[in-house]
Structure 1
Amino acid sequence: MNQTKVLMVCLGNICRSPLAEGILKSKLNTDNFEVDSAGTSATHAGELPDSRSIKVAQQNQIDISNQRSRPFNKNDFDEFDLIYVMDQQNYSNVVSLAKTEEHRKKVSLILNTIHPKTDAEVPDPYYGGQNGFKNVFSMLNEACKEIANQLQNNGDA
């Protein structure tokens, strides 16, 4: 059986998308699903997630400390079945690399899973304090719960 592959994308791949990756992995059977994350910028390539993301994940029994930032690339369209982005800028950046309509259809704003057609954004907590990371964790946890339910109800689990 093929694994369903999900990619989480934010700007630097050190705050939001590593959290989304860790949260979704914690909700799925990793024999059936693969979850990864990437950034639309290569600025932090190879770096660990932001210490505040690691901390808020640990507070919720999720370990993201082994993740490393990597840039999104065109091959990700072929590699992944679903691509969730955190905000409109990420969406524009990712879709601009799509070669086909099929590729474009794989990309969606993550909060549309819980607030359909609102195009709500997950705010970038980088320049804020720990509360911003807690808020982002809460948003992503709710969205990932819905994503996991959808994936498992599609007979993939």
Structure 2
Amino acid sequence: MTAPYRVLFVCLGNICRSPAAEGVMRALVEAEGLADRIMIRSAGTAGWHTGKLPDQRMRGAAQNRGYDLSSRARQVNEDALRENDLVLVMDKQNLRDVSSIDRASQFSEKIRLFCDFCSEHEEAEVPDPYYGGAQGFELVLDLLEDGCRGVLAHIRSTLT
């Protein structure tokens, strides 16, 4: 059996967007029967929330759509870039921050903006809902559901 395909979702603190992406993607992968072929994790560019559960507002919005967000926050590092096949960042600042970890630019081909995989939305970035209201969390989930379908299609095309 071949090694599983590894995807890492990255945002700033790893308590809103990236753990939600992890939860949405995990649900899609499990529904498709691919849980043994695709490994999904998330991380943040900052370590402020390391070890904490996702933001309660994000967990609530996700739970309303049937997603379980139970991962614990962690900080992205060079090993994470090396170990994953695809690193999806939520916004351009995350892209700059993750790229700065990749000092030798050896992983640049696998670091991509998440919204590149969206087909139903025009947004270039997944906005950080942390300082906004409930609608921000719903928009994030809309974008994640759209983009994760695109991510899954991309991964399926690479699985043998």
1:127 maps onto 2:128 in alignment: no
Aligned residue identity for 1:10: C
**Match of 1:36?**
41
CA distance in 2, matches of 1:111, 1:79: 22
Q: After superposition, where does 1:1-157 map in structure 2 within 5 Å?
A: 1-28=2-29, 29-64=34-69, 66-114=70-118, 120-156=124-160
Give 1:25's aligned amino acid: R
* C-alpha distance in structure 2 between counterparts of 1:38 and 1:155, whole Å: 24
Q: Deviations over 1:102-144 (max 9, x none)?
A: 31111010001126xx881110000011111001000011000
Quote the Cα distance in structure 2 between the aligned partners of 1:79 and 1:48: 23
Within 2, Cα distance between the matches of 1:100 and 1:3? 25
Amino acid at match of 2:22: E
Stretch deviating more after TM superposition (144-153 or 3-12) = 144-153
Q: Is the 8 A contact 2:99 2:105 kept in 1?
A: no
**TM-score, normalisation: structure 2:** 0.90
Gaps of 5+ in 2: none
Q: Which amino acid aligns with 1:105?
A: E
In structure 2, the CA distance between the partners of 1:133 and 1:96, relative to structure 1 (3 Å rule), is same
User: Aligned pairs, how many?
Assistant: 153
Is the contact between residue 112 and residue 119 of structure 1 (CA under 8 Å) also seen in structure 2? no
TM-score scaled by length of structure 1: 0.92
Q: Structure 2 counterpart of 1:34, which letter?
A: M
For residues 38 and 154 of structure 1, do their structure 2 counterparts lie closer, same or farther at Cα, with a shift above 3 Å needed? same
Query: Residues of 2 paired with 1:38 and 1:17: CA distance?
Result: 7
For residues 94 and 134 of structure 1, what CA distance do their matches in structure 2 show?
A: 26
